[in-house]
Amino acid sequence: MQGSTRRVGIMTDVHRRFLQLLMTHGVLEEWDIKRLQKHCYKVHDSNAPVEKLEDFINNINSVLESLYIEIKKGVTEDDGRPIYALVNLATTPISKMASDFAENELDLFRKAKEGEFTLHSRAILEMEQHIRETYPDSVKICNICHSLLVQGQSCETCGIRMHLPCVAKYFQSNSEPRCPHCNDYWPHEIPEVFDPEKEREAGISKSNRKSLRSRQH
């Protein structure tokens, strides 16, 4: 940010191992990211308290900033699961070499039939700015979160679009959903998406069942 300086963090062996392992995976769900962080502390600094995930990642990002690389958080377009990915942010010819996407692969977007294509969650995080700049007239943006939209629902009256997780969140507990832009009836089925509380309860229940079975044998 212009006019301000960002404090550069200090990379410990915990941070380095975390970064190396994330590089091998490319993209991980939030649950796996937290497990990975705890694993790195256990291996390199088992006596230290586990740093808050947001602060931990911000510390790494402050070091990566000069390389135009960042650990970014996003959500999957189909069910809204939180994800983290290591992405390349720069658009210079040299920095493009650090990306997994070659120019001939990017050219597929220009040749995609009727401009329709599907992208993996990491690709969306990494390529959003490039797509916005390259296809300003055809890019689709979510009316709720204002991020790039590849999969979603659209209003049949005014044409605005929303990610499936944004649809679910906006219309939750709404028996008669209406378009946030034109107020016309929203005809699509409201999707069920990731609920961290239900996921946590399901995980506890599954863990309890495993524990019970182990005691029975």
Amino acid of residue 134: T
The per-residue pLDDT for range 69-128, each reduced to its tens digit, is 999 998 888 888 999 999 887 765 544 544 555 555 555 554 444 455 556 777 788 778
Return the pLDDT at 13. Answer: 94
**Domains identified in the chain, total number:** 1
The CATH number of residue 171's host domain is 3.30.40.10
Q: Is 209 part of a structural domain of the chain?
A: no
What's the mean per-residue pLDDT of the chain?
Answer: 80
Domain that holds residue 195: 139-200
Return the pLDDT at 84. Answer: 94
Q: Is 132 part of a structural domain of the chain?
A: no
Q: Is 39 part of a structural domain of the chain?
A: no
d(CA 208, CA 92): 52
User: Which residues have a Cβ under 8 Å from the Cβ of 39 and sit 6 or more positions away?
Assistant: none
Return the pLDDT at 4. Answer: 44
| Overall pTM surpassing 0.85 (yes/no) | no
Per-residue pLDDT at 165 exceeds 70:
yes
Return the pLDDT at 158. Answer: 96
Pairing of strands 82-88, 27-29: antiparallel
Percent of all residues in the chain with a pLDDT value above 70, rounded to a whole number:
72
The per-residue pLDDT for range 122-145, each reduced to its tens digit, is 778 877 877 888 888 888 999 999
Q: Is 154 part of a structural domain of the chain?
A: yes
Closest CA to 75 of 161, 137, 168: 168
Return the pLDDT at 3. Answer: 45
Return the pLDDT at 207. Answer: 47
Average pLDDT over residues 156-160: 95
